[in-house]
A and B are shown apart, each in its own frame.
Chain A
Amino acid sequence: MDDISVIAALVEHKPGVLFKVSNLFRRRGFNIENITVGPIETSDLARMTITVKGDEATRDQVVKQLRKLIEVVHVEVLKPESLVQRELALIKVKVDSPETRREIMDYTSIFRGRVVDVSPESMIVEITGTPDKMDAFINLMLKYGIIEIARTGVTALTRGKASITTSYPLMLELGE
């Protein structure tokens, strides 16, 4: 029942907007899995990618409540069947022997990650991929001992020509 939905929102790139969005989720009792935000270079908007857990009714409410915020310009639920999702994580792993180091490097290369830092007792691995892939890699690392993880949360785009940034001006015309 509790599906994961990925929602993309274009918002005014101004101070306080992230607060209004996250506060909305808190107040309405919606469960955010994660939220990533970044400005759109070509405009004065920012894009939020929000992952929400819940049934269809919950997802609909999330979208509708988001649209009610004046600062939210456009909202779309990204189609799960054509979704490209990526997350980046930096994982600091304990290293106690050359064999361990070798193994971690092998796993990293299988997962197409990169070793970005090495010290006598630790390594930092950078890994990019779907949340599933990240979880799988992290599971493999557990036995070596994870010192620290920093995950960015999911960011996503739909495949093909469609883009919420180009469909937004169309929405505006409809609204006028």
Chain B
Amino acid sequence: MLVVMSGARALMEALKREKVKVVFGIPGGANLPIYDELLNHDVRHVLARHEQCAAHMADGYARASGWAGVCFATSGPGTTNLVTGIANAYMDSSPVIAVTGQVSRPFIGRDAFQETDAIGITAPITKHNIQPSKASEIPLAIRTAFYVATTGRPGPVLIDIPKDVQTEVEEVEFPEKVKIRGYTPYPPIDPQLVHQAVALIANSRKPVILAGGGVKYSNASKGLLELSETLMAPVATSFMGKGAFPEDHPLSIGIVGMHGNPVANKLVQEADLLIGVGFRFSDRTTGKVGEFCSDAKLIHIDIDEAEIGKNKRVDAAIVGDAGEALSMMLKQIREGGFKASEDWGRRLEEVKSQLQAEEEGEGGLKPPAVIKEMRRLLPRNAIVTTEVGQNQMWASLHFKAYMPRTFISSGGLGTMGFGFPAAIGAKVAVPEVPVVDIAGDGSFAMTENSLATSVAENIPVIVVILNNRMLGMVAQWQRLFYDRRYSAVKLDKPDFVKLAEAYGAQGLRPQSLEEFREAFKKALKCDVTTVIDVPIDPEEDVMPMIPPGGGLKDMIEVA
């Protein structure tokens, strides 16, 4: 049905059809018509204080909710400020929809005020981008954007709308379905390939499953659990896969990689078969990729065929949805009858108990103890986001995630400043559960202005800063690999308690683990954003780690 309306109105109507209830953004010259139209609609707008934060909020919203997150920005600097957030979403396959204003059509290409080539800049960091050239093209552009962003391997999509297209009044039509001839989000799985994979499983004695972010995106955690229990195979996750498998399950061995769990790093090396599901052989997961599982057979399941063989040659590959692939495999395995090796189960027990014994005796205000304390105080479904750096790796090692979408972190791009705005986005998506940003002082300082958003918009989250007054991870590398020559890593400012208070948030500074426990309980009960500034030893390293360029066997367990 054709209706006459402006481009801005068509945009808002189209967003409502995509069930958009909240938008994170900042107005500016080139998206004023959209912001004016916003007043006529029942869509919540969360005002960010920097476009990068708006994009991270949309990203956090998407990862927590399982639906797309939307952000708005104006042209030029608004768009370029979004770039980090979009690239972050792209690297972690998060469905973020960015709607940017553009200068009016007659000005495009003339270096007009606040003009930038949004399509050119974002082409390499989006799954798709579109610049509607008429108001009537907007509904299809939005329909396409959501379809592309949320299906197959998810990813960000940018829609760049010239200002005069926003005000142009035209007959528009809202399409129900979108058909894109160059896009097949769910390629049909070839049963022959499943058969090949199952044959490898049948011949294995020491299988390990490695689950990645794709398991979460395809809601395949149940199939993963069934497969691991059927094979009695230990399950490691990539960093992005954390939460895809409950980390308190007897078969869970934690994350693998540069700062992986020693159990995972050991058993992955000993495996004779690695079943990789929805992960991409990222260098942070594999270490030196040539050495990664070099004696094992490899099965790779991924929805993105370009990931097959991109970084590592594999013995069997299944292109398709993880959940579907897992159920097809399970069916064949059950029909064939697989007998798990008891020796392998015993080896898992042995490595796990060895490591548990080594872990005893931690106390004081040390990062692992603080994080474990948080886990004890939080419900199972609480959401944790992290900043980037040491805090992130401590969180990933010591915070056990029990369900998908509860551990949200910047894996691929490693964007400092991600955690706090992402926490705000996650809290908007799932307001009923506590959301905590495990932060470092350097990273939090990059987007601390989101405190204004958090307080003004009444989105209470908890920020726990593991404050070593350092760019901690850089300092750790300088300590370990540059002979302790510290270059540009000392921070020491600001006073985060005063900073929090300046924004109208609550600031607390515990001096012991007991005080931290009380502070955290207070924060959980409180309905305002709370920043808990935890002073920690600047010399503290994240261990274990694999030195840069090394393989899993080069893991250093103690500095």
Q: Which residues of A contact B (CB under 8 A)?
A: 11-12, 16, 19-20, 23-24, 27, 57, 60-61, 64-65, 67-74, 172, 174-175
From B188, B304, B309, contact of A68 by CB (8 A): B304
Question: In the complex the two chains form, what is the Cα distance from A73 to B120 in whole Å?
Answer: 21
Known interface pairs A61-B309, A70-B128. Does A20 touch B123 (Cβ–Cβ under 8 Å)? Answer: yes
Known interface pairs A16-B119, A57-B309, A61-B306. Does A70 touch B124 (Cβ–Cβ under 8 Å)? Answer: no
14 residue pairs bridging A and B, Cβ less than 8 Å apart: A11-B182, A16-B119, A20-B123, A23-B123, A23-B124, A24-B124, A61-B306, A64-B310, A67-B305, A67-B306, A74-B182, A172-B181, A174-B188, A175-B184
Using CB atoms, name the residue of chain B closest to A57: B309
Residue among A57, A68, A69 facing the most chain B CB atoms (10 A cut-off):
A68
Check A68–B184 contact: CB distance below 8 A: no
Check A70–B180 contact: CB distance below 8 A: yes
What are the 9 tightest A-B residue pairs by CB atom distance, in nearest-first order?
A: A175-B184, A64-B306, A73-B182, A70-B128, A27-B124, A73-B181, A72-B182, A64-B305, A70-B183
Chain B residues near A57 (CB, 8 Å)? Answer: 309, 313
Chain A residues near B180 (CB, 8 Å)? Answer: 70
Report B172-191 CB contacts with A as 1/0, cut-off 8 Å.
00000000111110011000
Is B148 in contact with chain A by the CB < 8 A criterion?
A: yes
Known interface pairs A172-B181, A175-B184. Does A70 touch B305 (Cβ–Cβ under 8 Å)? Answer: no
Chain A residues near B181 (CB, 8 Å)? Answer: 73, 172
Supply 17 further A-B pairs (C-beta < 8 A) apart from A70-B180, A72-B182, A175-B184. Answer: A11-B182, A20-B123, A23-B123, A57-B313, A60-B309, A61-B306, A61-B309, A61-B310, A64-B310, A65-B306, A67-B305, A68-B304, A70-B128, A70-B183, A71-B182, A73-B182, A172-B181
Min Cβ gap B116→A in Å is 15
Size bracket of the B interface: 20 to 34
Known interface pairs A12-B182, A69-B182, A174-B188. Does A19 touch B305 (Cβ–Cβ under 8 Å)? Answer: no
Question: In the complex the two chains form, what is the Cα distance from A67 to B185 in whole Å?
Answer: 11
Using CB atoms, name the residue of chain A closest to B124: A27
Min Cβ gap A88→B in Å is 29
Q: Which residues of B contact A (CB under 8 A)?
A: 119-120, 123-124, 127-128, 148, 180-184, 187-188, 304-306, 308-310, 313
Question: In the complex the two chains form, what is the Cα distance from A69 to B182 in whole Å?
Answer: 8
Interchain pairs with CB closer than 8 A, number = 41
Instruction: Name A's interface SS.
Output: helix
From A11, A19, A67, contact of B120 by CB (8 A): A19
Chain B residues near A175 (CB, 8 Å)? Answer: 184, 187
Min Cβ gap A162→B in Å is 20
From A11, A19, A61, contact of B123 by CB (8 A): A19
Residue among B182, B187, B313 facing the most chain A CB atoms (10 A cut-off):
B182
Chain A residues near B127 (CB, 8 Å)? Answer: 70
Chain B residues near A73 (CB, 8 Å)? Answer: 181-182
Min Cβ gap B247→A in Å is 32
Using CB atoms, name the residue of chain B closest to A65: B306
Using CB atoms, name the residue of chain A closest to B180: A70
Question: In the complex the two chains form, what is the Cα distance from A64 to B308 in whole Å?
Answer: 9
Using CB atoms, name the residue of chain B closest to A20: B123
Chain A residues near B306 (CB, 8 Å)? Answer: 61, 64-65, 67-68
Chain A residues near B123 (CB, 8 Å)? Answer: 19-20, 23
Question: In the complex the two chains form, what is the Cα distance from A27 to B308 in whole Å?
Answer: 19
From A11, A70, A172, contact of B148 by CB (8 A): A70
Chain A residues near B309 (CB, 8 Å)? Answer: 57, 60-61
Chain B residues near A20 (CB, 8 Å)? Answer: 123
Using CB atoms, name the residue of chain A closest to B310: A61
Chain A residues near B183 (CB, 8 Å)? Answer: 70
Chain A residues near B128 (CB, 8 Å)? Answer: 70
Question: In the complex the two chains form, what is the Cα distance from A61 to B187 in whole Å?
Answer: 17
Min Cβ gap B427→A in Å is 32
Min Cβ gap B156→A in Å is 13
Using CB atoms, name the residue of chain B closest to A12: B182
Question: In the complex the two chains form, what is the Cα distance from A72 to B184 in whole Å?
Answer: 11
Min Cβ gap B115→A in Å is 16
